[in-house]
Structure 1
Amino acid sequence: MSFTTHIVNLFFRHRRSEIDFFREHPVQVQELQLKYLLGQGARTVFGKACGMDGIHTVEQFQNRVEVSDYEHFSRFINRTRLGEQGVIWPTPIRWFAKSSGTTDYKSKYIPVSEQGLRDAHLQGPRDVIALFSSLYPDSRVFGGKTLTLGGSHRIEREGETAQTGDLSAILIENTPRWADWRRVPSARTALIPDFEEKVRRICEETAGENISSFAGVPSWNLVMMNKILEYTGKTNLLEVWPNLELFIHGGMNFKPYREQYRRLIPSPRMKYMETYNASEGFFAIGDDPSRDDMLLMLDYRIFYEFLPLASLDDPSKAVPLAGVRPGVNYAMIISTSNGLWRYQIGDTVEFTSTSPYRIRITGRTKHYINVFGEEIVVDNAESAIRAACDATGAEIAEFTVAPIFMEGRSKGSHEWVVEFRRRPDDPAEFARRLDEALQRVNSDYEAKRFKDTTLMPLTLTEVGPGTFLRWMQGRGKMGGQNKVPRLFNERTFVEQLKEADTGRK
């Protein structure tokens, strides 16, 4: 064991015992979280209107507080942004994490309280260190620096009190200064709005550093890593950073990118840890390298509920942790010390275990295709495209899917717009394998495809290199937490991508 890792292990020993406690007593810990939140919420305008001081059980909480999303809850958030305090949380809220918008809003402004920062947003990364140091006691990762690629929205003042920016900008502003010695790039570079300029500056700042770990969204980090290789003239990242050992990733499924990272970092010492963090909070950590899921973190002052995706229009079907079942797609609902109450964040998850409670992210409540009753979620699409790649030797850079609607007597189908990093020898064979794989992972799609009853075979549309990057850039969605929408129930994104590819030609 390295001396530094030994010290880190000792420092986090007590915290690991707390994690073990909620593994063994999950329902009890969640009840304590709700009790604390209700005690704080009873002091707010929102809580008084709901009668929180008279709520003592989960059932009472569900009966008195309605489930909401950003569109419905924004009126309370906006009052706080305009300077009115005590609306949704009893202590002042000054920070608002700016994230991708909804149908009705270009951007969302998620409240971040001092308690929310401390209890979740900053505790999550500390727990990653606590768990990693225990899993890998011989690691030397703590002897180097961490390269973090975050968002680009700087902190902006709104009115007399509110300050908005990407969550990453808020974390940079609130992370202890002593931690800066282990983190690159500089804060000035990290918050450069232009993604390409930021990556150029990162190359300049970090090529000569001892980078032992990096963190961020897999797709954008892949762009940055390839730019690092171009800048240095090296063939893999170990030639640039020989002590590279850990990638802490989140924001999207890592599996489609895993093989590309293995080629970029051909080291048996390389470790990958998935996290589930968002503007609304920090939720889960991949604590077991042998598993393809994450441990749900239960003591971050977050109370969880889960609404079956099949009952998305009936919030009364939401259940607390004790009511979930493995293998069911759930929309996640949270109540937090950031002042969010029964807030549906838009992600869907599936439980892989209930002892302890482990999840994996399956998609978004608004990013799925159900035009013909096929109920395709993101997890289905990513599993199918991975199987098609394995069968044909192809490699995907990006993809998105949309329905082809029925017209006249024609039947419907799906159109997959794909940008290959490595093209299959036979694209038609790739499409056939993709269609078969999708039938294997989704019985509803299989039923609609049976003898072409409702759906015809999918259509594969290939676009040229860089098309998705140009499209995201044109939408102002470069870097940070911005992600390519995988599935959509209408054709706007698909048509825009095809137009962007036509422009290239």
Structure 2
Amino acid sequence: MAIDPVNKLIAWQMRRRYGKIERFMLNPHQVQEELLLKLVKKAANTEWGKRHNFKSISSFSDFQNSAPLQNYESLKDDIDRIRLGEQNILWPTEIKWFAKSSGTTSSKSKFLPVSLEAIEQNHFKGGRDLLAFYCNEIHETTMFSGYSLKLGGSTTPNSSNHETYYGDLSAVLIENLPFWVEMRSTPNQAIALMEEWESKIEKIVDRAIKQNVTSLFGVPSWMLVLCRRVLEKTGADNLLEVWPNLELYAHGGVSFTPYRKQFEELIPKDDFVYLETYNASEGFFAIQDTVESQGMLLMLDNGIFYEFIPMSEYKGIESRTIPLHEVQPDVNYAMVITTNAGLWRYIIGDTVKFTSTAPYRIEITGRTKLFINAFGEELIIDNAEKAIKQACVRTGAEVKEYTAAPYYMEGQDSGAHEWIVEFSKRPSNLEDFETVLDDSLRELNSDYEAKRHKNMALKAPIVHEAKPELFHQWLKQKGKLGGQHKVPRLANDRVLIEELLRLQRDTHL
């Protein structure tokens, strides 16, 4: 395929950005310190800045002493005020967009502020950085001669204040795309922001199969649903028969490991490029900067200042943080961010480890709490405990032990959560127990509810009744009886559940 002039121009512009990226790779600590002081200065006259005496801050040490660590619960009251229309509380410029994310122990959903600076200088800049890395590596790319297929959610006006809006982060960004990006993206904005997922997928497929799609952007679980529908609709054996110039898939949101083999079958091309991104509702943090790199490059000049809490010392908002220059490779850290949207020393709940400190590259290792996030559902232990309790109340059951893990898509099947539950009192009906468990999780977690919609990404949970003393036997095999040892309630991989299922098969009920 000939490289057209527009493609050459865009690729050249993207490679120009790479020189600026090299600056923070070579001077990471100076860049981060400059950024922190810039953020503090800009917010000095906000309500938050006055409350914590930002005008007196001239160093990281001052910042640590002046501003306490935060989580969503500690910021919720201020965020709720902004959602109702108040301004200049956490950040000086107007905030009318909020990224809706899965909830905490006290609420079904979180609404994270997204400022204009966060959109332009963090999220969009992160997108450009991704393309800069790609163009620096693939010099003969023809990606910009075609369309980027982007999968996103939808946005909704705030029922209490119609001048503010919330939605999936992807939808917030689509709403604010510059015209020149939208011209090279598919589907169009009207389709991209549709709320009903089943209809949206159909319309995206109908449009995209007629276009020259050269790149894919989105969460693997949903992208897999869309790609399979493309093959069903066209009768093609693989995606290259539909989109012969496809060359890049940028993915994030959940671990790609369970999905890689399926995408390699869908896209049988040896030099096809997969790049991982760490783009959360709170910010665009890191990007896989080369095809072969282990971990993702922490982006240090995109409007976010970083601190870290060693997980061996983690005590929530009472923790001690360390700056970037003190981190060590292969240590598990909780990540703390200060952003250009007014999240000050905010514990996001993710844990990371550094695969490299020159430059700083990270891998996501999990959450500060037990969780399952194989399909973007972000199921936390509090959700599981409350749902189990409700299922017991409704079915007269008593649960002794349980654990849950993801069940990954196979063939045309959706994924699910697979549970093993040991009852001290069996439910009146196990199917009713499964139904109440599922319904309760939908009520408690908006991301789980979205993924369960019409079984498109998640089907109903699979619940196995454990044989008596199954968990006791497992702990005994592991030498973990007594003391503080316990069976993890949730796992984001299948190691534990496969061990339990094998042990279950040894003796049947």
**CA contact 1:155–1:170 (8 Å) conserved in 2:** no
1:422: how far off?
A: 6.9
- Secondary structure at 1:161 match in 2: strand
Q: Which amino acid aligns with 2:220?
A: P
- Label 1:213 to 1:491 Cα distance change in 2 as closer, same or farther (>3 A): closer
Q: Deviations over 1:251-273 (max 9, x none)?
A: 01111111110000001231111
- Label 1:217 to 1:479 Cα distance change in 2 as closer, same or farther (>3 A): farther
Alignment match, 2:133:
131
Q: Deviations over 1:208-248 (max 9, x none)?
A: 11101110001110111111111111111111111111101
5 Å-filtered alignment, 1:482-493, equals 490=489
5 Å-filtered alignment, 1:115-154, equals 115-154=117-156
Distance, in Å, in 2 between the alignment partners of 1:192 and 1:198 is 6
Q: Deviations over 1:65-105 (max 9, x none)?
A: 11111111111111211222111111211111122222211
- Secondary structure at 1:35 match in 2: helix
Distance, in Å, in 2 between the alignment partners of 1:261 and 1:342 is 38
- Secondary structure at 1:477 match in 2: helix
- Label 1:300 to 1:355 Cα distance change in 2 as closer, same or farther (>3 A): same
Distance, in Å, in 2 between the alignment partners of 1:347 and 1:273 is 20
Task: Structure 1 unaligned segments of length 5 or more: list them.
Answer: 369-376, 383-395, 406-410, 424-466, 494-505
1:10: how far off?
A: 2.8
1:419: how far off?
A: 4.7
Larger deviation: 21-30 or 230-239? 230-239
Alignment match, 1:112:
114
Q: Does 1:346 align with 2:362?
A: no
1:160: how far off?
A: 5.4
Distance, in Å, in 1 between the alignment partners of 2:25 and 2:324 is 13
1:316: how far off?
A: 3.7
**2:183 aligned to 181, 184, 190, which one?**
181
Q: Which amino acid aligns with 1:212?
A: T
- Secondary structure at 1:326 match in 2: coil
Q: Which amino acid aligns with 1:421?
A: E
Q: Which amino acid aligns with 1:476?
A: E
**Count of matched residue pairs:** 420
Alignment match, 2:290:
288
5 Å-filtered alignment, 1:349-428, equals 349-368=352-371, 416=405, 418-419=407-408, 421=410
Distance, in Å, in 2 between the alignment partners of 1:195 and 1:286 is 29
- Secondary structure at 1:12 match in 2: helix
Q: Deviations over 1:358-404 (max 9, x none)?
A: 00111122235xxxxxxxx98xxx9xxxxxxxxxxxxx9x9999999
5 Å-filtered alignment, 1:203-222, equals 203-222=205-224
5 Å-filtered alignment, 1:443-462, equals none
- Label 1:54 to 1:364 Cα distance change in 2 as closer, same or farther (>3 A): same
Q: Which amino acid aligns with 2:340?
A: S
**CA contact 2:118–2:283 (8 Å) conserved in 1:** yes
**CA contact 1:150–1:479 (8 Å) conserved in 2:** no
Alignment match, 2:244:
242
Q: Does 1:477 align with 2:450?
A: yes
Alignment match, 1:388:
none
**CA contact 2:335–2:350 (8 Å) conserved in 1:** yes
Alignment match, 2:326:
323
Task: Structure 2 unaligned segments of length 5 or more: list them.
Answer: 389-399, 413-436, 462-486, 493-509
Alignment match, 2:48:
46
Distance, in Å, in 2 between the alignment partners of 1:182 and 1:6 is 14
Q: TM-score, normalised by structure 1?
A: 0.75
Distance, in Å, in 1 between the alignment partners of 2:300 and 2:315 is 26
Distance, in Å, in 2 between the alignment partners of 1:73 and 1:413 is 33
- Secondary structure at 2:449 match in 1: coil
Alignment match, 2:169:
167
1:165: how far off?
A: 2.1
Q: Which amino acid aligns with 2:335?
A: M
Distance, in Å, in 2 between the alignment partners of 1:422 and 1:210 is 26
Distance, in Å, in 2 between the alignment partners of 1:223 and 1:164 is 25
- Secondary structure at 2:81 match in 1: helix
Alignment match, 1:436:
none
**CA contact 1:400–1:418 (8 Å) conserved in 2:** no
Q: Which amino acid aligns with 2:181?
A: A
1:12: how far off?
A: 3.2
Q: Deviations over 1:328-361 (max 9, x none)?
A: 1111110011011001111111110110000011
**CA contact 1:286–1:295 (8 Å) conserved in 2:** yes
Q: Which amino acid aligns with 1:244?
A: L
Alignment match, 1:23:
25
**CA contact 2:155–2:172 (8 Å) conserved in 1:** no
Distance, in Å, in 2 between the alignment partners of 1:75 and 1:326 is 37
- Label 1:150 to 1:347 Cα distance change in 2 as closer, same or farther (>3 A): same
1:19: how far off?
A: 0.4
**CA contact 2:104–2:110 (8 Å) conserved in 1:** yes
**CA contact 2:148–2:184 (8 Å) conserved in 1:** yes
**CA contact 1:151–1:479 (8 Å) conserved in 2:** no
- Label 1:266 to 1:34 Cα distance change in 2 as closer, same or farther (>3 A): same
Q: What fraction of aligned residue pairs are identical, expressed as a percent?
A: 43
Q: Deviations over 1:145-171 (max 9, x none)?
A: 011111133455642532222222221
**CA contact 1:400–1:417 (8 Å) conserved in 2:** no
